[in-house]
Structure 1
């Protein structure tokens, strides 16, 4: 079973993502902030990270940069979440090392499409 780490300070977002991913056969590890994200990643590992850009204690951009500095996670797919669809935030996300950018609120199918593309190599088209 593939493991997805979902970090968001909103319990509604974590719950929505977990329900969609659980129903599709993925194990979900929820985190409320960037510190918990890194702790869960170190303890359990993950096949993909879904991370809100703005988290308490350690934001998603900082967490993404730290993950990318670790050789063991250099190829770990990271999907950055944000409520902003702006070019500036998309650029900041890419510069931090995120592979994809998903705008909230997201659809279950939109999230699953990204996850399948990175974990199972399924085409997003």
Structure 2
């Protein structure tokens, strides 16, 4: 695992192991430190411990879905300014609107590319420069 001294901490929350692994690999390739979580409950404890600078969250998850997870993050004063990017395999207007209502900062449709992930980080994390 490539570690940089001031690696940007990124959290990826998805119940799919494949999606978590893919996102982790793509983000580590550009020098990010990636924390993964399998669902919203798993994520909330890890967010408190790790303070990620940006969070990617899947919408469709068991127990606590992406909307509920995003709302909980944004309602916590310590994390309300942390950018939350929603991930979904559906590219629906309803999903995007609902994401905005709970405070998400952007919406990416799966499958996503490294460029899309890095673009979202660049858009929401000032000063991020991807390593190559």
Q: TM-score range by the shorter chain?
A: over 0.9
Q: Aligned residue for 1:21?
A: 27
**Residue 6 (structure 1) shift:** 0.2
DSSP-derived class of the 1:56 partner: coil
Residues 1:60 and 2:61 are matched in the alignment: no
Q: Aligned residue for 1:70?
A: 76
Q: Aligned residue for 1:39?
A: 45
TM-score by length of 1: 0.93
Q: Aligned residue for 1:118?
A: 124
Greater share of residues in helix: 1
- Could you list the structure 1 runs, at least 4 aligned residues long, displaced by more than 4 angstroms after superposition: none
Q: Aligned residue for 2:36?
A: 30
Choose which of 69, 93, 118 in structure 2 pairs with 1:87: 93
Choose which of 92, 99, 102 in structure 2 pairs with 1:96: 102
Please list every run of 5 or more consecutive structure 1 residues that lacks an aligned counterpart in the other structure: none
Q: Aligned residue for 1:9?
A: 15
Residues matched between the structures, number: 122
Please list every run of 5 or more consecutive structure 2 residues that lacks an aligned counterpart in the other structure: 1-6
Distance in 2 of aligned mates of 1:24 and 1:17: 11
Distance in 1 of aligned mates of 2:41 and 2:19: 18
